[in-house]
Every structure is written in C-alpha cells, then in structure tokens.
Amino acid sequence: MNLEEILKESRKFAINHDVFEKIEKINGVYSALSESCLSQMEGGTTQKFNYHSYIFSTMESTLEALSLLLKNGYVNDAFTLLRKYIDLTIINVYFLVKIDKEQNMERIIIQEIDGWVNGINTLDKISKLREYISDNFQYPQIEDFFDDVQLKSIRDTTNDFTHYNTNEKIIANDSRFHMKNRREYYDEIYSNIEMVFTILCLAI
C-alpha cells in the first residue's frame, strides 16, 4: 500500500466516526445559544454586550476546528483543542454559578467577572474555578465531572498530547502511520465532548 492509499484509508476511517455527527449537533446548540444571548442583558459586568454569546460562539468554533483536525487524522492537535474546549466550559459554568449565587435578584457588578470582560484582570487557575463550582453547585453529574481524580485524569491526558510527553503522541498527529489504538483516541474525544456538553447543559 503506497502513501496515498494509506492516507485515503486513514481519512475514510476518520470521517465515518460518530464524533463528527456529535460535534455537528452540539454546535447547532451553541450557535442557537450564542444568537439568543445577544438580545439579553448579561449580569455581573458594566459592559452592555452579552459575553456569554461570545463564549458560546468560541466553543462552537473550537469544536469546528477540532472536527477538521480529526478528519485529517491530526489526533495530537485535536486533544490540544479538547483541552481548550474543556477549560472554556469550566470558565463558562463558573460564571453561570457565580452570577446565580452572588446576584440573586439584583443586577450587581461582580468585580472579578467585570475585570475579566474588560481585560483588566485574569481569572484564577482552573483548579480554583473547579473548587468554587463544586462547593456551590451540587448536582451528581457535575460533582462526578469535577471530582479531583476524573478531571485530573482528563487534563493529564490532554497535557500528554500538548507537550508530546511520549513518542506515541507525536505519531498520533501523522495519519500516515498505522496506530492500532487510533480509534480509541477518537472514542475518548467523543466521550469527553459529550460529557462536557452535558455538564454545561445542566448548569444552564
């Protein structure tokens, strides 16, 4: 089998995976959420635009880019974007929980969020945001996701790909190489995208 045939077979496998249909459906939801948020006033900030609209739009774009990478067999880069997608989801859920807890029925300014929106300050580390969510939003599936062991396992995996911690992680980015566990990587990305989307839906 020559190089062209190898690439053709690899892309044929990739395109047929369920992850692409899942991303398309989820992105349809993100697109609708982004559009619907535009007409609503957002709490916690002095800005008049709805920053959640931009967050949902960015999540849609990230998954679209991730889908393109997977279609070309670039598994390593796809895991790197998966990490960004998960982090952005945690930030989004953190904002939703914090606004719900601190605003109650009044439209007050939350300095941390307002500073982030206006580019004045950064947010705490993801681990701190996770702790806040766990302490203030009790829901079984969310508690399971933000469990130290589970979330750390997911982030450790994405870190391995981002930082090329083994040679296998380099090979995973080249569809010309046969990898017996390539389908397992696609399955793992699929399950993580599905789980993260469920968590966000529960928070909304």
Which range is least confidently modeled, 100-109, 150-159, 166-175? Answer: 100-109
**Mean predicted confidence (pLDDT) in 173-189:** 83
**The pLDDT of residue 138 is above 80:** no
Question: Whole-angstrom Cα distance, residue 149 to residue 145?
Answer: 9
Per-residue pLDDT, 67: 95
pLDDT per position as a tens digit, 64-74? 999 999 988 89
Q: What is the mean pLDDT of the chain?
A: 83
Question: Whole-angstrom Cα distance, residue 199 to residue 141?
Answer: 7
**This prediction's pTM:** 0.85
Per-residue pLDDT, 105: 47
pLDDT per position as a tens digit, 95-137? 988 888 876 545 567 888 889 988 999 999 888 898 888 888 7
Count how many domains the chain has: 1
Q: Where does the pLDDT of residue 78 fall: very low under 50, low under 70, confident under 90, or very high at 90 and above?
A: very high
pLDDT per position as a tens digit, 83-97? 999 999 999 999 988
Percent share of the chain, pLDDT over 90? 34
Host domain of residue 85: 3-203
Tell me which range, 60-64, 158-162, 191-195, is most confidently predicted by mean pLDDT. 60-64
| Selection from 98, 198, 191, 201 nearest residue 153 by Cα | 191
